[in-house]
Structure 1
């Protein structure tokens, strides 16, 4: 018998999106503002880190110039599509590298955590991403990094080392080279190119030190696509946090993401099996050899209201040969479904809206200029149903004149597998548990914001 769980909100977007993106999408009430987090505390404790929205008042990465609501949505949807194409290329075996690729970095997540790196520790804000493996940070002397970037000064750390050219991991990075016996790599992406060293140092997450952590140390960047903060990979590949801290955290973590409606609030990233929720609804985690880092789950159906939508089984099927299937991703903003799944879901949604005139906004093809009253949408997983309230699948303009179904068809690139991506709008204000040893993903209600 499947169990039920409702989700409240979701988020993931590219670092270049403006602050007003969510300020305009969702109004913040005065009562919410009264609960502002003190950005200087409390400190991270034990094995739990605070999670900040990248454009919250506690983040230094807030853009200075806002955009109109419509332009913001169009840009967000466009960048989100690039990320989904990237994820699809990964599962097709087109770009399997342990260090985050440029496109991967550009499409970084919406949430950041504080990490201390080196001895003594230097505090950096790093984006958390469940679909990436490697840690990456801008380092001292980086030529071309954004002026606002806080860099890691390796010269001030007594535990810092560059990785030598003879180390096996050096051959896994893209375009490896050897300079003064230091493993380096180069790559291009979008309008930018980067050069970085493979390095090791102590990472301190909350109260937990992790010595000899391997990461990419950015030395040079050209173009305007380089984000100001680093990246903390929470995937399950060989260079991820889970792999490099396996003895400490036993490949288990959970996170609770704050809502877009409360940009001043913080969620949490809880590392290790201690303190995880006991009573939690779960679905099996699947591992796909085409991209073993990603967190696959078995999506078996979708309901609109009480109606189970007629979706061909192959549109949702897990396929370890091609890499097709459904992943849970903390870095994509809008849920993407393959065409054979999205179209019937969209059509049933429209049918429930009756004769209301349908319009479009960029990649969103189901928008309305009238008040909308719609049923819930339910994702049906093996062993667990996830019922979404309206805040999880609708976006509204500030004036309330436009409402869009915040899902879209998955883009099809030059790959032989297309992913269904359950994005993080559905994850806000719930505790999402990743338990690799027991091959399960769990969901429990929790007020993160």
Structure 2
């Protein structure tokens, strides 16, 4: 594919907000009316799209927004790395702070009888679901009301699910748990109720019902865990969806519910390339793949094999993650890609912006970038690896080196690089598929 100069992806929160203002975006009800759930497919939208109540009230500058996203990504990566230390796949609340801090993707869920509509962050690196509940001290968003649901049930300490949450405690006969994370403490009850995603009701779904939060890390929304732990959505719906799902993530500039989450094997793409999914006992919640190399243009860059190697002993390798914004590669891999990208630019002056060290203030013609996985290659469109200031002429390579202060080598293929692709998780066959699909 020949390189060109189409309109580049506007990835900043300020651009999304300004676009929403300019187009006089309708309230959420109108957004939803044009994106109804169909069968086992439901709409996905970006947390800061005009349809989201979580978009910021005050627009930041482009530079401020990019720097904020970079800082939040760094914390997210430290969390992913910390899973190797915890030796536990069930962390129903800990990653919630990272999901809320970083731009992410949200789906609608109906909970209870009669159903109450809530918005849940979609997280492929988390096992459990949790939602803020009525009477929650410190919660700042829409809450679920257990008294209004005839199917709600708190679980007792003798329930097997009580043993699957971290640090379970008993108050009377009810099972609950407390977590301290960053500047916040979160207390939740282990509960069950009917969840409805798309048009499929799921009775007796186990989740954390948040009762109290303190500190500065309070999550404003619920979370839907799509990893492989015993309390994950996949485990609890195995008989219905057969541990299979796919999504197409819209770009950050999408104005409404333009993406989709498709549940179950029915309706998944037939023409799609696959790579094996790997299991890493050090980080059992994460989806590992075998990244064998990276091309810039037609040239395979020289990356030390150790930088990409999968190691179940240390937790090293490459993961696909829906909650990280910008792809992070360990330093030897990133340096090799960056240097080849710069070489292709010739003698153009290179500038930087925060953690992005390869930026240009003049128009550039860029090469393609291709991720070479075992069994498939994924060539990215420019929108998947360039960010461009709408207020000026600055263009940056939207990848960076992984933080140095993590406990083992971890490459993360992030959501910007996944946008406008159908990404299929086929757990029974231990494979991940990727196909180009425009959903913005």
| Fold match (TM-score > 0.5) | yes
The equivalences for 1:392-431 within 5 A come to: 392-415=384-407, 417-431=408-422
Structure 2 residue aligned with 1:113: 107
Per-residue CA distance 1:276-297 (angstroms, 9 max, x = gap): 1111111111111112221111
* Higher RCO, 1 vs 2 (CA within 8 Å, ≥6 residues apart): 1
Q: How many residues align?
A: 430
Asked if 1:331 corresponds to 2:323, the answer is yes
Distance 1:205 1:225 in 2: 27
Is the CA contact 2:17–2:50 (under 8 Å) kept in the aligned structure 1? Answer: no
Distance 1:218 1:150 in 2: 12
Q: Cα distance, 1:172 vs. partner? A: 3.5
The equivalences for 1:112-261 within 5 A come to: 112-146=106-140, 149-261=141-253
Is the CA contact 1:298–1:326 (under 8 Å) kept in the aligned structure 2? Answer: yes
Q: Cα distance, 1:97 vs. partner? A: 4.7
Distance 2:202 2:7 in 1: 32
Q: Cα distance, 1:232 vs. partner? A: 0.4
CA gap of 1:10–1:353, structure 2 versus 1, over 3 A, is closer
Distance 2:22 2:418 in 1: 24
Q: Cα distance, 1:106 vs. partner? A: 3.2
Q: Cα distance, 1:398 vs. partner? A: 1.0
Structure 2 residue aligned with 1:53: 46
Q: Cα distance, 1:425 vs. partner? A: 1.1
Distance 2:278 2:391 in 1: 42
Per-residue CA distance 1:321-361 (angstroms, 9 max, x = gap): 11111111111100000111111111111111122222221
Is the CA contact 2:326–2:398 (under 8 Å) kept in the aligned structure 1? Answer: yes
Is the CA contact 2:289–2:318 (under 8 Å) kept in the aligned structure 1? Answer: yes
Is the CA contact 2:110–2:117 (under 8 Å) kept in the aligned structure 1? Answer: yes
Distance 1:439 1:226 in 2: 35
Per-residue CA distance 1:291-334 (angstroms, 9 max, x = gap): 22211111000011111100011110111111111111111100
Structure 1 residue aligned with 2:339: 347
Is the CA contact 1:10–1:333 (under 8 Å) kept in the aligned structure 2? Answer: no
Tell me the SS of whatever aligns to 2:428. Answer: coil
CA gap of 1:165–1:29, structure 2 versus 1, over 3 A, is closer
Is the CA contact 2:20–2:50 (under 8 Å) kept in the aligned structure 1? Answer: no
Is the CA contact 1:139–1:219 (under 8 Å) kept in the aligned structure 2? Answer: yes
Structure 1 residue aligned with 2:3: none
Per-residue CA distance 1:97-138 (angstroms, 9 max, x = gap): 524233443334611111111111111111111111110100
Most deviating of 284-293 and 98-107: 98-107
CA gap of 1:219–1:260, structure 2 versus 1, over 3 A, is same
Is the CA contact 1:131–1:329 (under 8 Å) kept in the aligned structure 2? Answer: yes
Q: Cα distance, 1:176 vs. partner? A: 2.1
CA gap of 1:444–1:359, structure 2 versus 1, over 3 A, is same
Structure 2 residue aligned with 1:280: 272
Is the CA contact 1:330–1:423 (under 8 Å) kept in the aligned structure 2? Answer: yes
Asked if 1:82 corresponds to 2:75, the answer is yes
Distance 2:416 2:201 in 1: 32
Tell me the SS of whatever aligns to 2:253. Answer: helix
Q: RMSD over aligned Cα, in angstroms?
A: 2.5
Q: Cα distance, 1:266 vs. partner? A: 1.8
TM-score normalised by structure 1 residue count: 0.90
Per-residue CA distance 1:6-53 (angstroms, 9 max, x = gap): xx9999x9xxxx8426457xx79999x99x974334421211111111
Distance 2:272 2:8 in 1: 19
Q: Structure 2: state its 5+ residue gaps.
A: 1-5
Is the CA contact 2:16–2:50 (under 8 Å) kept in the aligned structure 1? Answer: no
CA gap of 1:153–1:29, structure 2 versus 1, over 3 A, is closer
Q: Structure 1: state its 5+ residue gaps.
A: 1-7
CA gap of 1:9–1:313, structure 2 versus 1, over 3 A, is farther
